[in-house]
Amino acid sequence: MILKKRFSLLLLLVAGALLLSACGGVMTASSWPGITGNGDVAYVAATTYVHAIRLSDGSEVWRYPEKAEPNRMFYAAPVLVGDQLIVGDYRNELHSINPVNGKLNWSFTGAKGKWITSPLALDTMLLAPCADHFLYALDLNGNLLWKFETGEPIWATPTTDGKFVYVASMDHHVYALDPATGQEQWKTDMGAAIIFTPTLSEEGILYLATLAREVLAVRNTGEILWRQSVENLVWSQPVVRNGSMYFADTSGKVYSVKTADGSIQWTQSIGGEAGTAALGVPAVLDDALIYGLENGELVAISYSGDRLWTRSVNGTLYSGPVLAGDRLLVGVTQGDRLVVSFDLNGNESWSFTPAK
Amino acid sequence: MWDAIIITPFINVLLFIYNLVGQNFGIAIILFTLLIRLVTHPLMAKQIKGSQAMQQMQNDPEWQAIQKKYKDDKEKLAAEQMRFYKERKISPFASCLPTLIQFPIIIGLYQAIIQTMASTPIELLKLVRHIYPALLKVESLIPLNSRFLWMDLGQPERLYIPGLSFGIPILVIIVVVTTYMQSKLITPPSNNPGDQAAQMSKMMNWYMPIFMGYLAWTLASGLALYFVVSNLIGIGQYALLGKINWSNLNPFQKATPPTPSKDNKSGSGTKPEPAKKTEVEKLPAQTKTGSGSSSSATSKQKKYNAPKKPIKKR
C-alpha cells in the first residue's frame, strides 16, 4: 500500500517536473536553424543536432553528435574553414567537425556561455563571440590565442576589413580590435544593444541596427555618420547595395534608406494587414531581397520596393532563407519540416525533416 | 490572452521594479515576489483557514466515528459527510477556490521571471515585445544586469572558492533547507492513523525539498532565488496567521499542532476542541432517527473557524 502511494507520489513529481519544464520553456525552440551551404552540401544546426544535407535532394549525409544530449543545442550557423566545420552549442562548447563524415576533430571548452552566433573564420584563426561577454581568438587546432572582454554577451558575428575586426556587443558598443593581438583600437557607444552583425560596405562604413529602433552608419574610425529612427523594432541585419541600405522591422515594413545620410527612400509593407514581423537576415539576390516572415511566408521584394512573389511554409520563420548555390534554403522553426528548399523563383524543390 | 492579461503586465512590473532599484535583477525578483504574494495574501489566508478546517475535521473523533461506522456504505457516508459539513459550517471549497484564483497569478509570476531572464534570441525577441514602450525604454533595459551577489541569475548557481576545483551550490542548499522548513512548518498534524492525506504530506515533506533542490541545481539561479524568497514568504505568511509551530522542525519530536496566537479569537491556528464523548456515543441513535435534526445540530453546532473555547493541549 505504502509502496503504491510512494509510486503515485513519484509519478506526481515527475508530472510536476514535466509541467515546470514546459513552463520554463526548456523544450521550446530558443533560436532558429543556422544554415550554411557549401558546394553540394548544406550544414544545418538545429536543436540537438548538426545535419549535413545533400543539396541535390535534401537527403541526410550525417548528423552530429550521433546521440542527442540534453541541453546541448546547436543553433549558430556552422562555418567551414579548410577541412573543418566549426559550430558552437548552448552548453558552452565549440566543436570542430570533419565536414565529410561528421566526426569530431576537437572541441574548445574554455568559454562559460552559450555560442549564440557563428565565429568569423580568418586564414589562420577563428574569432568566436560568446554569450559569456568574450570574443575568443583560436588557432585552427582550437588553442586559445587571446580573448577580449566586452561588457555584455556578444550575439553578433564579428566582421573584418582586413585591418581591424569589428565586434558589436550587447553592451551597446562596437569595438575595433587588432586581430593579431586582440588590442582594442576604438569603441563607440551605439546607444542600445546590438543583436545582428553590422554590415560592412566597400567604403569601410558599418551599418547596423540597435534595439533602440534605430539604424546607424559608423565609419571605420568609430565616428557615427548618421542614425535613423524607425517606428518599430528592427530585428534584422541591414543589407547594403548600390548606395542604398535595406532593413525590415517587426511590423513587416521594409525600408530603403540612402547610405549617404540615412534618409528614407521608400518603405514597403510586406507583413500584410496583421503587420507580421520580418526578421533576421534576408537572402540577397541580384534582383531581389528575400525576407522570411514570422507567419511562415517567404517574400521576394525588388530593390525598388515591388513585391515579386510570396511563398508559404508551415511554421515560423525567424530569419530569411540562406542562398546555397542556386537554391534558397529556409530554416523553419516549429514547423513540420526543418528545411525547405526553393529555387530562385520560389519553386519548392525538396524539404528535409530529420529522422527521429 | 494569457500573455496580455497576466504575463505582459507582470513582466513590465518586474522590469519597472528592476529600474527602480538601480537595475539589480536579484533585488527586483525578491521585491516582485514579495509584492505578488502580498497582493494574494488574503486569498492565501482564506485557503489556509479552509484547508485547516478540513484537516480539523479529519481529526475530529465524531467524524472518525462516522467514517468507521459507515465504512462499507459509501452513499450513507457521503450523506453524513454533507450533514457534518452543514453542522460545522465547513465549506469543502473554501480552500479550493482561493487556490484556483491564486494559481494563474503564481504561474504568471513564475513565467514572468523566466521570460525576463531571456538568454537566447527568441526569448529576447519575445521579451522585447512584452515591454510597454510608454513605461520602459528597451535600450536602457536590455540586456538585463543579471549579476547578483556571486551569481549570474541566468545560469545555474555555483560558488567557486579558491583552492576548490568544484563550485558549491549554495543556493541549492538554501532551496532544499527552506523547502523542508516550509513543508514541516505548515503541515498540519493529524491524529487519525488512517489519514491518507497526512501520510502523503509526510512523504511530500521529504520528496519536495529534493525535487526543488534538483530544479535549483539545473535551472537558472534567478529561479532558485525565487524559490527561496517564495519559501520564506510562505513561512512568513503562515507565521502571520499563527499557523506555525517551530518545534515541528525538531526531527526527534512528533508533529504538534500550531500554537495559537494571543489574539486568536477567530480560532485560526487552533486545534479543534475534541468532540465530547457523549456526543459520539449518541451518534448512532441520532442517525437512526434521522441525522441532523435541527435541535441536535444547533446544540452541537461548532464552526471550525471560530471555536469559542480556549485551546487545550492534549
A155 assigned to some structural domain: yes
Those residues whose C-beta lies under 8 Å from the C-beta of residue A6, and which sit 6 or more positions away, are: B203
Q: How far is B206 from chain A (nearest CA, A)?
A: 11
Average pLDDT over every residue of B167-178: 93
B74 vs A76 pLDDT, higher one: A76
Residue A243 in any domain: the answer is no
How much is the pLDDT for B49?
79
- Out of B115, B121, B142, closest to residue A116 by CB: B121
Residues of A in contact with B125 (CB under 8 A): 235, 279, 318
CA dihedral (A303, A305, A310, A314) positive or negative: positive
| A79 in any annotated domain | no
- Enclosing domain of residue A135: 110-207
CATH code of the domain covering residue A162: 2.40.128.630
Residue spans per domain, chain B: 2-249
Please give the mean pLDDT across all residues of chain B. Answer: 76
Q: Which residue has the higher pLDDT, B266 or A223?
A: A223
Does residue A142 lie within any of the structural domains? Answer: yes
Indicate yes or no: CB of B143 within 8 angstroms of CB of A153.
yes
What is the pLDDT of chain A when averaged over all its residues? 92
CB contact under 8 A, B139 and A5: no
Tell me what pLDDT residue B78 has. Answer: 87
Q: Does B121 touch chain A (CB under 8 A)?
A: yes
The complex's ipTM? 0.89
How does strand A339-343 pair with strand A327-331?
A: antiparallel
The pTM of this model reads 0.78
Inside any domain, residue A50? no
What is d(CA B161, CA B151) in angstroms, rounded to the nearest whole number?
13
| Cβ neighbour number for residue B161 with a 10 Å cutoff | 8
Where do we find the cell 520553456? A25
Take residue A132 and report the three cell numbers written for it.
559569456
Task: Work out how many domains chain A is built from and give that number.
Answer: 1
Q: Is residue A48 part of a domain?
A: no
Is residue B310 within 8 angstroms of chain A, CB to CB?
no
**Does B107 contact A23 at a Cβ distance shorter than 8 Å?**
yes
pLDDT at B40: 85
The per-residue pLDDT for range B109-158, each reduced to its tens digit, is: 888 888 998 989 999 999 999 999 999 999 889 999 888 998 888 888 88
Contact B139 A24 (CB under 8 A): no
Read off the pLDDT band of A340 (50, 70, 90).
Answer: very high
Cα B190 from Cα B250, distance rounded (Å): 17
Q: A319-332: per-residue pLDDT in tens?
A: 999 999 999 999 99
Q: Using alpha carbons, select from A247, A173, A159, A169 the residue that is nearest to residue A205.
A: A159
Q: Cβ A31–B203 below 8 Å, yes or no?
A: no
**Cβ neighbours of A81 (radius 10 Å):** 18
CB contact B197 to A (< 8 Å): no
C-alpha to C-alpha distances, B111 to A173, B81, B108, B114, nearest whole angstrom: 31, 39, 5, 5
Chain A contacts to B (CB-CB under 8 A):
2, 5-6, 9-10, 13, 16-17, 20, 23-25, 28-32, 75, 90, 114, 116, 131, 152-153, 155, 170-172, 191-193, 195, 210-213, 233, 235, 250, 279, 318, 333
Across the interface, which of A5, A75, A211 has its CB nearest the CB of B128? Answer: A211
Residue B269: pLDDT band (50, 70, 90) is very low
Smallest Cα distance from B138 to chain A, Å: 7
Q: What is the pLDDT of residue A292?
A: 97
> Is residue A240 in a domain?
no
Contact A155 B203 (CB under 8 A): no
Name the closest residue on chain A to residue B118, using Cα atoms: A30
Residue at A219 is within a domain = no
With an 8 Å Cβ cutoff, are A6 and B219 in contact? no
